[in-house]
Chains A and B, each alone.
Chain A
Amino acid sequence: MAVCVAVIAKENYPLYIKTVPTENELKFHYTVHTSLDVVEEKISAVGKALVDQRELYLGLLYPTEDYKVYGYVTNTKVKFVIVVDSSNIALRDNEIRSMFRKLHNSYTDVMCNPFYNPGEVIQSKVFDNMVSGMMVQVC
């Protein structure tokens, strides 16, 4: 399913990045990094134009030749980015949405762990397993 999942703090540094083909890791870091501009653009457009566009899910940020990049921003300005293989056309928008939902729920649990200091890199095993579960399924 997803080839790369990233969690980015409100100050725009990565809290967590996991990629599936590990040899291309740098490329994905780069892709996620460039997507932040699009995220920024989408959030700042929300206040002006449409009122009902206040949803946390931002939808498709941009497609590239091989991948599609999806974004999600929480109320606390934490960004989630999921990169999906373009060849995977079976993937619906709803499924992406539910993936973000799961990611958000898991992140909240991490945040409510008293041993986790906000702003630190996420090292939770439960979170990691959940992300792995989203990535393996079809490859």
Chain B
Amino acid sequence: MNKQEMADEALFQLLHTEMVSYVYKWAEQGEMESGRCVTKLENMGFRVGQGLIERFTKDTARFKDELDVMKFICKDFWTSVFKKQIDNLRTNHQGIYVLQDNKFRLLTQLSAGKQYLEHAPKYLAFTCGLVRGALSNLGIKSIVTVEVTTMPACKFQVMIQKM
């Protein structure tokens, strides 16, 4: 990785950390319930995801099906945003996909175990929105949740809503 890329990545990480702490500052001051903070971060991610997917899919061939789309998210999308691919993609072929990242970029700086585990959801809300926004712009309505047992590994669960 050259210096330019390292700098680009640091910018995104720092901005993301600032965003999280900014949003949660309102909750601390009692002006907003903490549940709304997650929603707020998720909504930011949603809009960013919509824009990003428009850029990323500009030069790719048309997708065949849902699985093709998920593969794109795991490979190209993840590489562009987090500089690595999803480590494991599993599906029950009925609209549920589990994306496992063993070394999630936004958590690597936080801890490498169970320390600060209760803070992990804050740093994942944006990414959940990111995935949901990307899928929604590709015409797939979904619910994205996340699960962390030991940092920096995490599992995103994507539930596709059939229309």
Give A contacts to B, CB under 8 Å.
Answer: 10, 43, 46-47, 54-56, 73-77, 104-105, 107-108, 111-112, 114, 118
Contacts and interface: CB of A to CB of B under 8 A. Distances in A.
B51 to A, nearest CB: 4
Contact of B62 (A10, A56, A112): A56
A111 B137 CA distance: 11
Contacts of B50: 111, 118
A45 B23 CA distance: 47
A112 B47 contact: no
A75 B51 contact: no
Interface stretch (B7-15, B53-61, B151-159): B53-61
B55 A75 contact: no
6 contacts: A47-B65, A75-B53, A75-B57, A75-B60, A76-B138, A108-B55
Contacts of B53: 75-76
A54 B137 contact: no
Contacts of B65: 47
Interface in B98-142: 137-139
- Give the interface size bracket for B toward A: 10 to 19
Contacts of B58: 74-75, 104-105, 108
B139 A112 contact: no
Interface in B61-77: 61-65
A108 B54 contact: yes
Contact of A76 (B47, B61, B64, B139): B139
A44 to B, nearest CB: 11
B137 A55 contact: no
A75 B62 contact: yes
A57 to B, nearest CB: 10
Contact of B47 (A104, A107, A114): A114
A76 B57 contact: yes
A47 B57 contact: no
Most buried by B among A10, A76, A107: A76
B63 A112 contact: no
Given A74-B57, A76-B138, 18 more contacts: A10-B139, A47-B64, A47-B65, A54-B61, A54-B62, A55-B62, A56-B61, A73-B62, A75-B62, A77-B138, A77-B139, A104-B58, A107-B54, A108-B54, A108-B55, A108-B58, A114-B47, A118-B50
